[in-house]
Amino acid sequence: MTKGTTSFGKRHTKSHTLCRRCGNRAFHKQHKGAFFHCVSVPPNVHSLISVCHCPSVAKLRSYEWGQKAKRRKTTGTGRMRYLKDVSRRFKNGFRENTVAKKRTVKSTSDA
């Protein structure tokens, strides 16, 4: 039995599936700790299960050498459904439930 080219043709099962946090197809189904998605992970289990260290670490995995990758995923690259309105609301002091006063047009009476 060879372990090279002929064996690669027999590979048809997927070991990785989509990660629920980063969306990459890098979540290993059978990896150690893959079933900790519902409960907090014990401190002695440090297992890289996905690209983003999904269930084992609370923070998203990112390094300084991957600045370009950070730029692709950071805030502002998506829709920003809520955040795009915050700067405008900040300028006005976050007013809510108020109605603007009626503007009166100054009439210039030039005799």
Give, as one character, the DSSP assignment of residue 43. Answer: T
Model pLDDT for residues 61-78, shown as the tens digit of each residue:
889 999 999 999 899 999
pLDDT at 107 (0 to 100): 80
Model pLDDT for residues 10-54, shown as the tens digit of each residue:
999 998 999 988 888 988 888 765 555 555 555 555 456 788 888
Nearest of 102, 106, 86, 82 to residue 94 by alpha carbon: 86
pLDDT at 76 (0 to 100): 93
Model pLDDT for residues 75-93, shown as the tens digit of each residue:
999 999 999 999 999 999 9
- pTM of the model as a whole: 0.54
Q: What does the alpha-carbon distance between residue 14 and residue 9 come to, in Å, rounded to a whole number?
A: 14
Which residues, 6+ apart, have CB-to-CB distance to 12 below 8 Å? none
Nearest of 57, 18, 62 to residue 36 by alpha carbon: 57
pLDDT at 33 (0 to 100): 58
CA atoms lying within 13 Å on the CB side of residue 57: 13
Give, as one character, the DSSP assignment of residue 64. Answer: G
Q: Which residue has the higher pLDDT, 13 or 1?
A: 13
Query: What are the start-end ranges of the E strands in 1-111?
Result: 16-17, 27-28
Q: What does the alpha-carbon distance between residue 53 and residue 63 come to, in Å, rounded to a whole number?
A: 12
89 SS3 class: helix
